[in-house]
Amino acid sequence: MGKAKKTRKFAQVKRVMSSKEVAKKVQKKAEPEKKLKDSELLKEVPQMSSALFFQYNQSLTPPYQVLIDTNFLNFSIQKKVDLFRGLMDALYAKCIPIITDCVMAELEKLGPRYRIALRIARDEQIERITCSHKGTYADDCLVQRVMQHKCYIVATNDADLKRRLRKIPGVPLLSVGSHSYVVERLPEVF
């Protein structure tokens, strides 16, 4: 005949607190809770743009100004999407493609493999914006420009840049899909 198994009975014995845990508990009770004043609460709230009405950006009106990133141009060429026609089809309005000096410098640094993208970026129909900062890191330039002026749609396929831009309310994103452009977070017309 076999042995009968006994089941364990849990929570029968109370857990014993160590002396360190008791000391921490006493110390927490002794500390008075800090209450925040109304003036301290107001300092922590960031200033929102006057263009935003809740999550709706009122400064986005046709003709749309589209900031173009380096990899957006490269993916457009790979997927064989015409830049101007693709923007018109995606946004259903006239678009003004804009390239900053940092993006142009990044395209020039990439060398002869990206000469087609550089030729498209130098097109006369694309507007150029000069940068006022030092350095040529295009992602920081685009994020800084969008935070200052909420009137841009950002065209990029860079995952890190998209993650940074999603934190900014009221900024729509545009990326290259299978054979067309995909718009993310563009507010609908009432």
Pairing of strands 56-57, 52-53: antiparallel
CATH code of the domain in which 150 resides:
3.40.50.1010
Q: Is the pTM above the cut of 0.75? A: no
Q: Which two tokens stand for residue 82?
A: 């015409």
**Residue carrying the six token digits 């009122």:** 58
Rounded Cα distance between 102 and 138, Å, is: 5
What own/partner pairs with CB < 8 Å and gap ≥ 24 does 117-124 have? 117/70, 117/73, 117/74, 117/77, 120/73, 120/76, 120/77, 120/83, 121/68, 121/73
Beta strands 95-100 and 127-129 are parallel
In a domain, 83, yes or no: yes
Between 130 and 60, whose confidence is greater?
A: 130
State percent of the chain over pLDDT 70.
77
Could you tell me which of 72, 70, 157, 159 has the C-alpha nearest to residue 106? 70
Q: Comparing 58 with 42, which gets the higher pLDDT?
A: 58
pLDDT tens-digit profile of 82-111?
999 999 999 999 999 999 999 999 999 999
Residue 160's domain comprises 63-183
pLDDT the model gives residue 58: 76
Residue 82 lies in a domain: yes
For the chain, give the mean pLDDT: 83
pLDDT of residue 127: 96
- At residue 170, the pLDDT reads 84
> Do the domain assignments include residue 188?
no
89-117 core/surface letters (b: 16 or more CB in 10 A; e: else): ebbeeebebbbbbbbbbbbeeeeeebeeb
Q: Is residue 72 part of a domain?
A: yes
Q: Could you tell me which residues are beta bridge partners of residue 181?
A: 176
pLDDT, tens digit, 9 for 90 and up, residues 121-159:
999 999 999 998 888 789 999 999 999 888 999 999 999
Number of domains in the chain: 1
Dist CA 83 CA 119 (whole Å)? 12
Could you tell me if residue 128 is inside a domain?
A: yes
pLDDT of 52 > 90? The answer is no
In a domain, 27, yes or no: no
The answer to the question of residue 48 being in a domain is: no
Amino acid 1: pLDDT: 62
Tokens 């990029």 found at:
156
Residue 53 clears pLDDT 70, i.e. is over it: no
Least confident of 15-19, 140-144, 174-178: 15-19
Best CA proximity match to 65, nearest among 137, 127, 138: 127
Whether 31 is covered by a domain: the verdict is no
